[in-house]
């Protein structure tokens, strides 16, 4: 075993040994197994030895567990008989795991006929009465428990096949599997190194359940006289003997039944402990000591103008951990006036969302440890749950960041809104439907009657966000809390949502809006006042104009300076030679319509692009424009239906469309990708060192020692210590994970990196650091980037050239200064108009003027 693998196992064992459940269960099971294995040495008597003077005797010094109906020592027979039972568990479990996991993996990773054959075979085996088959086999081969246990493993393997197949099909579509393919790994390597470890939890649970089932099956066979033939002992025939003498010696069933129950319980509890420990190790969760965050700056208490509807005073919020409470929010104070829009600004981990949930009396594993939250004269802290619920229903509306998961997928939109209206306003069905339709009109849903009949999955992102806003308004709130309501939206849809929030605030002068965000352009558009948080502490509070013109705190200044919209357009650089040429590229996807009929959707419609060496081409457009499909086609994750993608080199041009597996493996050295979701692109069950090194060793023949040196150099180059390679993805922040994704792309020293929304999920300061790192790497190594984004502010300051995509077509392309300075196409102009500018003098209310382009 390698040093790294030994270290991983040592860490896992340490986590297991901290669990009393595992220690106790494993200790008991170990004692049972050792006693059974060493039965000839530790048993006080032989399994057949009789004491006819003590027949059916109870426990005594001579016979600690008594004797059976022939005067044989129960303890001795239990120890010897356990050897057959536990051997049967090992035999059946081995077959169950090999057949079940093997066929399940094969079916899950396959398509078409192989998957169909394995699935039908599993269904056929499930329909067979396994226990009856065992009885028939033991009638033909009496006492042959090896055949019986192997048969039991085969007959019950469909239970594991179905679990493994279903889980495999879910895992194989995850982003880190696609990332492994782009690194040059074969399907077999991906299956064994990336898919199989993710199945550990389900397999462990099924294995422990099956182990108990085997013991019960062996006991049942012995009880019926089909197992190990008497007088040879087994736990099963000992139960039979005890049941025959239940009226004369009831005690006889207790030790035999007790050891069976204890063994089964130990298997179950050990399985649960291992599963939980593995999940905890992969998730990177740690037990922290009690600590308290200290202020990173001097908090400025907000001074609201007008009548305060909401007042927060010295708010302290803690999260309970195994080692005590951890302070998340420390002494935060602010006020929200009636009719005011207050923006709560901060980066990830600053505590802004935790604070907003606390105002509602809610928390994700947190609770208020001190301070006051006074809402319209009612103190929420310490109030009874019924009172908190009443205040929430009468005072608050809540808009979530991700609209789709917050909508019930089983309910039509109209029914959901009507239900909420009835709950909050206490009206009848017909009145609730009418009010629900009015809410749809209020949030500017076109054709509200048609939309009301749709399910959430039939809505676009912007439409779903409008429905969530309508749901929040169903309570006629006094305070509307919006938690990052525009972060996941395209710039034009974001402008529409901001304009809608403007209109809602204007239509109800008494309603206050608390907007949680990290986007300074949004703040400039809508805020009256701003409070800035960092590390759970309020560091600055001021009117919106003052916070932009004269920010008092260093963290506020750093955040504003990191906003890409404030950066100048990238200076023009001289042209170089072509590296990648795309001609007449067309990409389509097969699918089915609402009636189940086969259809084909064309995502990319015969586009032409050219990317030059050492330069950055920005490919921009809204969701669904086809830009990510282009990037996926370049790295081989999508097969185009027509067209050409040519990678140029001094040794000759290479066509990427329809390139074979061997060619793709070699191409992975020249072309790499950085995905939008860095966490999803990294296998959570493997250390980052293993993930980054595996393509070097497995796909490109580098020695393990050389690969480790290359990984260490790559991590240090992206600003991470080489020691970080032994940690798991969950143990890093979002910005660190993106650096890891960049390091993985760099180790193969590519000429071209496809950057698919690489900074859209990052905070502004982290975003600026990642962009600076990419720029430095380009200067050092001459890497060309295809930079896919919907954020024109980032593209204009980072890219040399721009291509604008709209509904599968390139509608405009050219040098960044030409396209941004004087756009020729109306769609490009609409993107520029919709992009928020972090300056309230320019941006205030500008979202209401932005118009979305429609062909």
Q: How confident is the model at residue 855 (pLDDT cuts 50, 70, 90)?
A: low
* Sign of the Cα pseudo-torsion (429, 431, 434, 439, in order): negative
What's the pLDDT at 596? 65
Tell me how far CA of residue 698 lies from CA of 183, 189, 470, in angstroms. Answer: 10, 8, 53
pLDDT of residue 426 exceeding 60: yes
- Give 669-687 pLDDT, tens digit per residue: 999 999 888 888 888 888 8
Look-up: residue for tokens 């003098």?
A: 841
The answer to whether the CB of 611 falls within 8 A of the CB of 577 is no
What's the pLDDT at 286? 44
The answer to whether the CB of 562 falls within 8 A of the CB of 767 is yes
Q: What value does the mean pLDDT take over residues 77-91?
A: 89
In CATH, 3-283 is 1.10.10.10: no
What's the pLDDT at 7? 46
Tell me how far CA of residue 337 lies from CA of 392, 476, 514, in angstroms. Answer: 18, 17, 10
Q: How confident is the model at residue 593 (pLDDT cuts 50, 70, 90)?
A: low
More confident call, 338 vs 492: 338
Query: 339 in the Ramachandran plot: left (φ > 0), alpha (ψ -120 to 50) or beta?
Result: left
pLDDT of residue 819 exceeding 60: yes
Highest average pLDDT, of 94-108, 127-141, 494-508, comes from 94-108
pTM: 0.77
The answer to whether the CB of 803 falls within 8 A of the CB of 618 is yes
Q: What value does the mean pLDDT take over residues 642-662?
A: 90
Q: How confident is the model at residue 583 (pLDDT cuts 50, 70, 90)?
A: very high
Q: What value does the mean pLDDT take over residues 804-820?
A: 93
What's the pLDDT at 291? 39
Question: Which one, of 490, 397, 396, 502, lies nearest residue 443 by Cα?
Answer: 502
pLDDT of residue 852 exceeding 70: no
Phi, psi of 479 (to 5 degrees): -125, 120
pLDDT of residue 296 exceeding 70: no
Show the tokens assigned to 565: 């919209």
More confident call, 536 vs 301: 536
pLDDT of residue 397 exceeding 70: yes
Tell me how far CA of residue 753 lies from CA of 475, 699, 701, 744, in angstroms. Answer: 49, 18, 22, 11
Q: What value does the mean pLDDT take over residues 271-296?
A: 57
Tell me how far CA of residue 259 lies from CA of 133, 206, 231, in angstroms. Answer: 27, 22, 20
Q: What value does the mean pLDDT take over residues 11-28?
A: 82
Least confident of 92-96, 207-211, 753-757: 207-211
What's the pLDDT at 299? 42
pLDDT of residue 4 exceeding 70: no
What does the CA dihedral 58, 60, 63, 69 come to, rounded to 10 degrees? -20
**Distance, CA of 433 to CA of 698 (rounded, Å):** 61
Phi, psi of 575 (to 5 degrees): -70, 155
Average pLDDT of the residues of the chain? 85
What's the pLDDT at 403? 79
What's the pLDDT at 289? 37
**Distance, CA of 666 to CA of 224 (rounded, Å):** 63
pLDDT of residue 283 exceeding 60: no
Instruction: Write the DSSP assignment of 762-801 as a string of letters.
Output: S-HHHHHHHHHHHHHHHHHH--EEEEEES-HHHHHHH-SE
pLDDT of residue 595 exceeding 70: no
> 3-class SS at 805?
strand
**Distance, CA of 804 to CA of 785 (rounded, Å):** 16
Instruction: Write the DSSP assignment of 62-80 as a string of letters.
Output: SSTT-B-TTSBBHHHHHHH
> 3-class SS at 384?
coil
Q: How confident is the model at residue 605 (pLDDT cuts 50, 70, 90)?
A: very high
What's the pLDDT at 16? 77
Q: What value does the mean pLDDT take over residues 527-545?
A: 93
pLDDT of residue 711 exceeding 90: yes
Q: How confident is the model at residue 579 (pLDDT cuts 50, 70, 90)?
A: very high
pLDDT of residue 321 exceeding 90: no
- Give 160-201 pLDDT, tens digit per residue: 999 999 989 988 888 888 888 888 888 888 888 888 888 887
More confident call, 325 vs 494: 494
Q: Which long-range contacts (C-beta less than 8 Å, at least 24 apart) are formed by 233-238?
A: 233/47, 233/77, 233/78, 233/80, 233/81, 233/84, 234/81, 234/84, 234/85, 234/145, 235/78, 235/81, 235/82, 235/84, 235/85, 235/259, 235/260, 236/85, 237/81, 238/68, 238/74, 238/77, 238/78, 238/81
- Give 459-515 pLDDT, tens digit per residue: 877 788 889 889 888 888 899 999 888 876 788 888 888 888 888 888 888 899 999
pLDDT of residue 604 exceeding 60: yes
Q: How buried is residue 416: exposed, middle or buried, by Cβ count under 10 Å (0-12/13-18/19+)? A: buried
State in Å, rounded, how far the first CA of the chain is from the last one: 62
Q: How confident is the model at residue 390 (pLDDT cuts 50, 70, 90)?
A: confident
Percent of the chain with pLDDT strictly greater than 70: 93
What's the pLDDT at 811? 94
What's the pLDDT at 135? 82
CATH 1.10.3720.10, the chain: domain bounds: 3-283
Question: Which one, of 376, 379, 378, 377, lies nearest residue 368 by Cα?
Answer: 379
Q: What value does the mean pLDDT take over residues 306-321?
A: 82
More confident call, 551 vs 735: 551
Q: Summarize the chain as % helix, strand, coil (round to 5).
A: 50, 15, 30
pLDDT of residue 203 exceeding 70: yes
Q: What value does the mean pLDDT take over residues 583-609?
A: 83
- The C-alpha R_g of the chain, in whole angstroms, comes to 33
Q: What value does the mean pLDDT take over residues 607-630?
A: 92
Least confident of 108-112, 293-297, 418-422, 563-567: 293-297
pLDDT of residue 304 exceeding 80: no
**Distance, CA of 356 to CA of 687 (rounded, Å):** 35
What's the pLDDT at 541? 94
What's the pLDDT at 753? 95
pLDDT of residue 1 exceeding 50: no
What's the pLDDT at 798? 92
Q: What value does the mean pLDDT take over residues 314-337?
A: 84
**Distance, CA of 82 to CA of 218 (rounded, Å):** 11
Instruction: Tell me the CATH number for domain 290-376+478-549.
Output: 3.40.50.300
Show the tokens assigned to 716: 């240090």
Percent of the chain with pLDDT strictly greater than 90: 32
pLDDT of residue 664 exceeding 70: yes
Whats the size of the chain, residue-wise?
855
pLDDT of residue 783 exceeding 90: yes
Geometric angle at alpha carbon 793, from 791 and 797, rounded to 5°: 120
Q: How confident is the model at residue 292 (pLDDT cuts 50, 70, 90)?
A: very low
pLDDT of residue 278 exceeding 50: yes
CATH 3.40.50.300, the chain: domain bounds: 290-376+478-549
Residue 405: count of CB within 10 angstroms of its CB: 10
pLDDT of residue 302 exceeding 60: no
What's the pLDDT at 5? 46
pLDDT of residue 8 exceeding 60: no
Helix/strand/coil (H, E, C) string of 591-628?
EECCCCCEEEEEEEEEEEEEEECCCEEEEECCCCCCHH
The answer to whether the CB of 516 falls within 8 A of the CB of 505 is no
Least confident of 215-224, 652-661, 699-708: 215-224
Helices (H), 426-539: 429-442, 448-452, 461-473, 491-507, 520-526
Question: Which one, of 311, 300, 341, 355, lies nearest residue 529 by Cα?
Answer: 341
pLDDT of residue 539 exceeding 90: yes
pLDDT of residue 143 exceeding 50: yes
**Distance, CA of 479 to CA of 544 (rounded, Å):** 19
Tell me how far CA of residue 566 lies from CA of 149, 520, 548, 604, 828, in angstroms. Answer: 71, 10, 12, 33, 19
> 3-class SS at 95?
helix
**Distance, CA of 692 to CA of 179 (rounded, Å):** 11
């Amino acid at each position: 075993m390698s040093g790294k693998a030994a270290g991983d196992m040592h860490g896992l064992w340490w986590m297991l040994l901290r669990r009393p459940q595992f220690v106790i269960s494993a200790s008991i099971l170990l004692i049972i197994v050792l006693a059974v294995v060493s039965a000839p040495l530790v048993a006080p008597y032989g399994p057949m030895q009789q004491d006819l003077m003590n027949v059916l005797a109870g426990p005594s010094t001579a016979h600690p567990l008594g004797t059976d109906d022939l005067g044989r020592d129960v303890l001795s027979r239990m120890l010897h008989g356990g050897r057959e039972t536990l051997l049967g568990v090992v035999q059946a479990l081995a077959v169950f795991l090999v057949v079940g996991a093997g066929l399940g993996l094969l079916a899950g990773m396959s398509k078409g006929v192989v998957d169909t054959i394995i699935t039908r075979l599993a269904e056929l085996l499930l329909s067979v009465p396994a226990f009856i088959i065992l009885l028939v086999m033991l009638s033909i081969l009496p006492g042959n428990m090896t055949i019986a246990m192997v048969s039991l493993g085969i007959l019950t393997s469909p239970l594991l096949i179905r679990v493994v197949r279903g889980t495999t099909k879910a895992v194989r579509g995850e982003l880190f599997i696609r990332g492994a393919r782009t690194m040059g790994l074969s399907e077999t390597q991906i299956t064994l190194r990336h898919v199989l470890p993710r199945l550990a939890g389900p397999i462990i649970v099924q294995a422990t359940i099956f182990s108990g089932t085997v013991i019960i099956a062996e006991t049942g066979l012995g009880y019926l006289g089909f197992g190990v033939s008497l007088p040879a002992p087994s736990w099963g025939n000992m139960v039979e003997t005890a049941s025959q003498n239940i009226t004369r010696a009831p005690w006889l069933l207790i030790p035999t039944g007790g050891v069976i129950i204890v063994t089964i319980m130990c298997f179950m509890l050990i399985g649960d402990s291992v599963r939980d420990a593995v999940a905890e190790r992969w998730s990177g969760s740690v037990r922290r000591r009690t600590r308290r965050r200290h202020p990173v700056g001097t908090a400025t208490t907000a001074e609201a103008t007008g009548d305060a509807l909401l007042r927060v005073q010295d708010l302290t919020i803690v999260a309970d951990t195994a080692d005590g409470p951890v302070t998340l929010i420390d002494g935060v104070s602010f006020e929200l006036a009636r009719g005011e829009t207050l923006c709560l600004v901060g980066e990830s981990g600053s505590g802004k969302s935790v604070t907003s949930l606390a105002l509602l009396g809610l928390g994700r594993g947190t609770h208020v440890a001190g301070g006051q939250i006074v809402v319209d004269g009612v103190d929420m802290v310490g109030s009874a749950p019924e009172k908190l619920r009443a205040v929430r229903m009468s005072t608050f509306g809540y808009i979530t960041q991700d609209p789709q998961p917050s909508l019930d997928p089983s309910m039509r939109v109209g029914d959901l809104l009507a239900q909420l209206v009835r709950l909050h306003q206490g009206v009848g069905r017909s009145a609730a439907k009418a009010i629900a339709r009015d809410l749809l009109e209020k949030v500017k849903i076109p054709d509200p009657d048609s939309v009301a009949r749709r399910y959430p999955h039939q809505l676009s992102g912007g439409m779903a966000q409008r429905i969530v806003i309508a749901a929040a308004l169903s309570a006629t709130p006094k305070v509307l809390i919006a938690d990052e309501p525009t972060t996941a939206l395209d710039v034009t849809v974001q402008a529409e949502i901001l304009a809608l929030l403007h209109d809602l605030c204007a239509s109800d002068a008494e309603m206050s809006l608390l907007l949680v965000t990290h986007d300074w352009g949004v703040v400039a558009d809508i805020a009256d006042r701003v409070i800035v948080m960092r590390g759970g502490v309020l560091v600055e509070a001021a009117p919106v104009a003052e916070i932009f013109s004269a920010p008092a705190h260093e963290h506020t200044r750093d955040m504003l300076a990191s906003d890409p919209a404030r950066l100048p357009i990238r200076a023009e650089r001289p042209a170089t030679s072509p590296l990648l040429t795309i001609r007449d590229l067309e990409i389509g996807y097969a699918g089915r319509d609402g009636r189940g009929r086969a259809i084909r959707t064309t995502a990319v419609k015969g586009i032409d692009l050219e990317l030059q060496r050492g330069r950055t081409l920005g490919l921009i457009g809204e969701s669904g424009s086809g830009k990510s499909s282009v990037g996926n086609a370049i790295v081989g994750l999508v097969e185009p239906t027509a067209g050409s993608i040519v990678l140029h080199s001094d040794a000759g041009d290479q066509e990427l469309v329809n390139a074979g597996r061997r060619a793709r493996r070699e191409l992975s050295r020249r072309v790499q990708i950085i995905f939008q979701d860095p966490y999803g692109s990294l296998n959570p069950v493997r250390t980052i060192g293993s993930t980054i090194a595996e393509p070097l060793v497995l796909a490109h023949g580098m020695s393990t020692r050389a690969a480790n040196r290359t990984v260490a150099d790559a991590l240090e180059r992206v600003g991470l210590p080489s020691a970080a390679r032994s940690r798991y993805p969950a143990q890093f922040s979002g910005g660190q994970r993106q650096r890891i994704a960049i390091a993985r792309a760099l180790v193969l020293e590519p000429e071209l990196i496809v950057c698919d929304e690489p900074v859209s999920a990052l905070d502004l300061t982290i975003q600026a650091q990642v962009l600076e790192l990419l720029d430095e790497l380009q200067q050092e190594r001459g890497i060309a980037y295809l930079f896919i984004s919907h954020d024109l502010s980032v593209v204009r300051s980072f890219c040399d050239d721009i291509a604008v995509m709209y509904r599968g077509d390139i509608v405009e392309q050219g040098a960044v200064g030409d396209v941004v300075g004087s756009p020729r196409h109306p769609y490009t102009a609409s993107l520029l108009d919709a992009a928020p500018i972090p300056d309230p003098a320019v941006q205030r209310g500008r979202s209401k003027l932005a118009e979305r382009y429609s062909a």
